[in-house]
Amino acid sequence: EAEVAQSPRYKITEKSQAVAFWCDPISGHATLYWYRQILGQGPELLVQFQDESVVDDSQLPKDRFSAERLKGVDSTLKIQPAELGDSAMYLCASSLSSLSPLHFGNGTRLTVT
Amino acid sequence: TQLLEQSPQFLSIQEGENLTVYCNSSSVFSSLQWYRQEPGEGPVLLVTVVTGGEVKKLKRLTFQFGDARKDSSLHITAAQPGDTGLYLCAGDLLDSNYQLIWGAGTKLIIKP
């Protein structure tokens, strides 16, 4: 079964450094999501793409976070500079459309020291 | 304030027992999804319910969508250690441009 690929699986970085996460959605999935999840809590949407366009980034801290999906396929989420409070699991998900169920990757566990 | 309240937040029971977890809201949803998440992995979709009063069964798991489409429950019969995980509900708010609202989850531990 096709999967959403994310890398790296784990990232440890010092505060004030830059960090980037990569996601490759399931082939043909037009909608791509980046979520942040704190341990034991539900996912919090950071940004949603429809093809290469951002359709919702209302919860993205734009002073330090950026996301792109230039060719409407894979996507990168960047944090610069990282802060201690950014430590969390960053999950990428994709779906055929915004009406379809989400398929999640296994996430990137970020630790900021 | 959470739009979707899940309860209990945490549940630890013995293998073989039955349990029910809840997902409640004052808002109406077009549909509601249940996911299970194991440690270190992403959530995996279990079921989507779309019709008020709908009941769906997935082996020992029974999902129900409330008549008013404001709440849902997940009942597990004869729980097994493999059912351990974080159970998340996510709802598609009516007239919300398909924005998915997530609950905080119920952490379930089944002890052998």
Span A14-61, pLDDT tens digits: 999 999 999 999 999 999 999 999 987 899 999 999 999 999 999 999
Subunit contact A102:B105, Cβ cutoff 8 A: no
* Averaged pLDDT for residues B67-84: 96
| pLDDT reported for residue B86 | 96
Span B13-22, pLDDT tens digits: 999 999 999 9
| pLDDT reported for residue A8 | 97
Span A74-85, pLDDT tens digits: 999 999 999 999
| pLDDT reported for residue A58 | 92
Rounded distance, CA A6 to CA A24, Å?
6
Subunit contact B103:A42, Cβ cutoff 8 A: yes
The fraction of chain B above a pLDDT of 70, given in percent, is 95
Most B CBs within 10 Å: which of A4, A35, A37, as the mutation test of the B interface?
A37
Whether B1 shows a pLDDT value over 60: the answer reads no
Give the closest of A41, A101, A107 to B42, CB-based: A107
| pLDDT reported for residue B82 | 95
Q: Where do the domains of chain B lie, and which CATH numbers do they carry?
A: 5-111 (2.60.40.10)
Span B81-108, pLDDT tens digits: 999 999 999 998 877 666 789 999 999 9
The fraction of chain B above a pLDDT of 90, given in percent, is 86
Q: Where do the domains of chain A lie, and which CATH numbers do they carry?
A: 5-112 (2.60.40.10)
Whether B28 shows a pLDDT value over 70: the answer reads yes
Q: How many CB atoms lie within 10 A of CB B95?
A: 7
Rounded distance, CA B75 to CA A106, Å?
26
Subunit contact A42:B102, Cβ cutoff 8 A: yes
Rounded distance, CA A92 to CA A43, Å?
10
| pLDDT reported for residue A5 | 97
For residue B105, give the nearest of A78, A35, A98, A25 by alpha carbon: A35
